[in-house]
Structure 1
Amino acid sequence: MKRIKVLGSGCRNCEITAKVIQQAAQEAGVEIELEKVTDIAQIMGYGVMSTPGVVVDGVVVHSGGVPGPDQARAWVTAGTESADA
């Protein structure tokens, strides 16, 4: 299961980012654990200065702006292709 964190203050763009990721995971049939991180100290601990930020399995993969559906799909499916083989 992928662990994904959306970093941000809880603003509209952060909420949209979380929804885009949830929808991508659902469409791909991939189970994820999605956490919203709003604590500024935690966000800065990832080195993210522009939100929303996205962390997948401990690695920052995006910051600043809402990611597109294709980006989110790539994050949730990365490394899962051979899991069912």
Structure 2
Amino acid sequence: MESMRLAVVHVEQHELVWLISRQSEESVRTRNWRYGLAGNGPYRVDRLSGGVHQIGVLFAKGGDWEVDSGARARVRGRKGGPCVP
């Protein structure tokens, strides 16, 4: 099986994170949906730590990622919190 190459197709900058959407290179190049990925949520990249997290489509569309990102940032600021590297 050949591995699929991915391309970044959209980046949204927010206060605490970037949301990065990707798609198969073949789909982008040919504009043919048959080569596209389905049901893939974006990656959330933490602007402070650089941590990368894949989030689900519904989580992304519903805006719940914003609440989660804010909670992670507050915990990160506490000494000994679970997000502190």
Question: Under a length normalisation based on structure 1, what TM-score does the superposition of the two structures give?
Answer: 0.36
Rg larger in structure? 2
- Kindly indicate whether structure 1 or structure 2 has the higher relative contact order, using CA contacts under 8 Å at least 6 residues apart: 1
Question: Under a length normalisation based on structure 2, what TM-score does the superposition of the two structures give?
Answer: 0.36
